[in-house]
Structure 1
Amino acid sequence: MSRKTINLLLLLCANLPMSVSAQKTVDVHAEYSYEVGENDNITLREARRKCLELAKAEAIKAEFGELITSDVIDTNVETNGEATSSFFWENTVAMAKGDWLGDTQPPQFDVQYIDNKLIFKVEVWGKAREIVQSKAELKWKILKDTDGEKEETNRFRNGEKVYLSFRSPADGYLAVYLIMGDDDTACLLPYKNEPSGRFQIKRGKEYMFFDREVDPSAYQYKLSTKYAMEDNQLVVIYSPNPFTKCNDVTGDAKHPNSLNTHDFQKWLLRCQRADSDMIVNKRWVKIRQ
């Protein structure tokens, strides 16, 4: 064996422990407080869920730091149904430089009422994995139809149709879920008539989902709520590696397949543990009557 070959083998072996170490999981912990004012249009369940999600993001950021980029959407603050000011809505969880892989003990909640505000406090413990390399940069938007034109938004009226545009720089597989306010999660993609349970995408192709004018075989979805206002969460899952959607319950002709949100979260965590290339993006959508 030549000296050059031996040196190459030694170099590869020397680098191997560093790569393995970079992918190891660590224990993380954080506390977080989330305030709900008396004029905030949010249910207690939604506030609790947001507080929990942001606490997990804080735990990851405390251990691994933050990513440079984040999802920011310019939107409007509404008072009595009218837009009064502009602000930047930021997807904080997307900034955490790691993946939450599961709880190591149940989160502890405390709720207090102080100065006309409900203050949710939560303490979380879990396992997390650092994002050690750049993953595929996904381009996707939540859209609705306004005067015949598709516009990006995270605010919907009850019964309005939702669309999603998507583009990836690499071939892969895609799933889209909607976490609803009633502890159910709907599978929007793959469509329920897809026997493989997978949706394969091609790099560089611009997709417009849930639009029958673009794809006559597409399923269309309307966002709805029985409350004055409700927050749902759209979850986009991508991987260059094949994965099959979760084991859900077949919906009727008017409803997508769905499952309990707790079961969905368990399935998603199992997928993330098994696939370090998987990307999970989440964005909130607000629905009002």
Structure 2
Amino acid sequence: MNFAITKRIFSLIILLALPLAFYAQKARKVCGEYIYYVPTNQSLEQAKNIALDRAKIKALADEFGTIVSQTNSTVLTNENGKTDNRFFSLSGSEVKGEWLENDGEPQYEILYEKNMLIVKCSVCGKAREIKNSSINFKATILRNGTTERFTSSEFHDNDFMYLLFQTPVDGYVAVYLIDETPTAYCLLPYQNDSDGQQIVKHGKEYIFFSPEKASEELNLVDQYSLTCSGSVEHNQIYVIFSPNPFTKATDNAGAKYLPRQLSYKEFTEWLSNCRKLDPKMSIKVLHMEIRP
């Protein structure tokens, strides 16, 4: 009797472990490097973000290939006083892989050549091949308005931020803001929502962080106005969607008027674990800057 029970328990453990092993095998280590020639109207922080994004995309394209047949990269040269700028056309949606997590910190090299700022970024991480499983949803940051014409990535002190969201399938969404410290702030689900999940319906256009546009009870909705303590701040908005249920990361109450928060390390560990277990989870990272 005891032996039979032990065998059944052992079999159950194997069955439970199979999905974990399946997804773990799909993850591969990839590395990429990108040299970005910085236009004069961009800050160093913006340039580092762009260089990092493109180093990741290059790593994914080299490892898994691309959906489009031809791609270009940014080439910015300055010869005899003439500037030639060809845009980087390969986007994250055109590569057949997705980035799961960084392996160590990205490495940057800042150079000056012929009076031009150059940012060289090298990054390694874990990635997996996309096999038409992730969902392409719509997510746009809005400034001081609740229609798409207010789309913006540039904010000033006391501007209000909203998020336009739409998905082709029913599912669940979470939104986090990552500041420069870096700290992760949970913007959605709302602070007073004890479920820890934000359900969304297919085809419906949502305007999050707006009491006037809310489908939830008004006392649940958090509204956000942004502030800047320096000359400029660069933040990232992570919009995370899956047709499968998932619950937000464990977080803590922050200072007064601030959303609930957790460390960036805790956030990336939670997100990485979610993505390893859910191949249908999709992420969009939206960059924004705040000035006085």
Query: Taking structure 1 as the reference length, what is the TM-score of the superposition?
Result: 0.75
**Cα-Cα RMSD:** 3.0
1:262 counterpart (261, 265, 271): 265
For 2:54, the equivalent position in structure 1 comes to 54
Conserved in 2, the CA contact under 8 Å of 1:26 and 1:129? yes
For residues 46-85 of structure 1, the aligned pairs below 5 Å read 47-67=47-67
Distance 1:144 1:67, change over 3 A: farther
Conserved in 1, the CA contact under 8 Å of 2:227 and 2:290? yes
Percent identity between the two aligned chains: 38
For residues 263-278 of structure 1, the aligned pairs below 5 Å read 263-278=266-281
Conserved in 2, the CA contact under 8 Å of 1:94 and 1:281? no
1:249 counterpart (249, 252, 258): 252
Distance 1:126 1:160, change over 3 A: same
Question: What one-letter code is carried by the residue in structure 2 that aligns with 1:51?
Answer: A
Distance 1:227 1:152, change over 3 A: same
Conserved in 1, the CA contact under 8 Å of 2:243 and 2:281? yes
Question: Aligned pair 1:32/2:31, yes or no?
Answer: no
For 1:109, the equivalent position in structure 2 comes to 108
Distance 1:196 1:28, change over 3 A: same
Question: Aligned pair 1:42/2:61, yes or no?
Answer: no
How many equivalent pairs are there? 249
Match of 1:241, SS state, is coil
Distance 1:148 1:136, change over 3 A: closer
For residues 124-135 of structure 1, the aligned pairs below 5 Å read 124-135=123-134
1:90: Cα distance to partner?
8.1
Unaligned ranges ≥5, structure 2:
1-21, 69-86
For 1:73, the equivalent position in structure 2 comes to none
CA distance in 1, matches of 2:32, 2:67: 18
Conserved in 1, the CA contact under 8 Å of 2:158 and 2:225? yes
1:188: Cα distance to partner?
0.6
Distance 1:241 1:134, change over 3 A: closer
Query: Taking structure 2 as the reference length, what is the TM-score of the superposition?
Result: 0.74
Greater strand proportion: 1
Question: What one-letter code is carried by the residue in structure 2 that aligns with 1:140?
Answer: A
Match of 1:268, SS state, is helix
Distance 1:182 1:103, change over 3 A: closer
Unaligned ranges ≥5, structure 1:
1-19, 69-87
Question: Aligned pair 1:287/2:286, yes or no?
Answer: no
Question: What one-letter code is carried by the residue in structure 2 that aligns with 1:139?
Answer: K
Distance 1:42 1:59, change over 3 A: same
For 2:79, the equivalent position in structure 1 comes to none
